[in-house]
Amino acid sequence: MNGIMVDLETMGTSSNAAIVAIGAVEFDIDAEVGLLGAEFYCNIDIQTCIDAGLSVDGSTIIWWLKQSEEARNAISKTPYNLVRGLNDFTRFIEAAQDRSLSRITVWGNGSNFDNVILHSAYTAAGLTKPWHFKDDRDVRTLVFLGRALGIEKTEVVREGVRHHALDDAKHQARYCQYIYSKLKADNFNKSSPREIGNESS
């Protein structure tokens, strides 16, 4: 497998937001839908993020208070300090790289969210991000391309707890595999595709 799907739970939406959980799973975008590999999950002590200079946003805290009990409980269990959590994640990436026959790509949900926030956290912690910037991939761009051709991510059944970092990462990996398989299928409906970027508002 040559991809890592990442999902973060954070206490903000800025590029230097404090991280409270990291979830990730190995996958191959070109594999059978639902075929996933090794998993990673850890909670991060928010105070160690603040001490490193990462930020907390009040509106995000209020948002968390409105989420399910399962999601809120998940981010409160056995937190690691920021440095340990990032070092463990680095080892997860390196192990995936060792198993792969090609370079590992790292997927996040939004061009300015998961991957960017992780990069900021590595910098704040004085650590080196374990992947090259050319290997960043954006889930939302793939979802946009699929939707423009009538393929919806909601066609993949949701499993797990919403806003649990690992459950979200696994769901994102599955629907990315699904969208990609439809986009490349030889028998995809070519009769009336919508024009990308030309949808009615």
Question: What are the DSSP calls for the chain, one per residue?
Answer: --EEEEEEEES-SSTTBPEEEEEEEEE-TTSPTT-EEEEEEEEB-HHHHHHTT-B--HHHHHHHHTS-HHHHHHTTSSPBPHHHHHHHHHHHHHHHHHH-SSPPEEEESSTTSHHHHHHHHHHHTT---SS-GGGEEEHHHHHHHHHHTT--GGGSPP-S-TT-HHHHHHHHHHHHHHHHHHHH-TTS--SSPPPTT----
Question: Any idea where the domains of the chain sit in the sequence?
Answer: 3-184
Kindly list the averaged pLDDT for each block of 10 residues, start to end, along the chain of length 201. Answer: 96 96 96 95 97 96 93 90 98 93 91 96 97 96 94 94 96 96 71 46 37
Give me 156's structure tokens. 């993949």
Contact 58, 45 (CB under 8 A): no
Give me 164's structure tokens. 């649990």
Give me 31's structure tokens. 């594999």
pLDDT of residue 196: 42
CATH class belonging to 3-184? alpha beta
Give me 125's structure tokens. 């912690």
Q: 81, 22, 93: which is closest to 48 by C-alpha?
A: 81
Q: How would you class 154 by CB atoms within 10 Å of its CB: exposed for 0-12, middle for 13-18, buried for 19 or more?
A: exposed
Q: 107, 131, 101, 41: which is closest to 77 by C-alpha?
A: 41
pLDDT of residue 190: 56
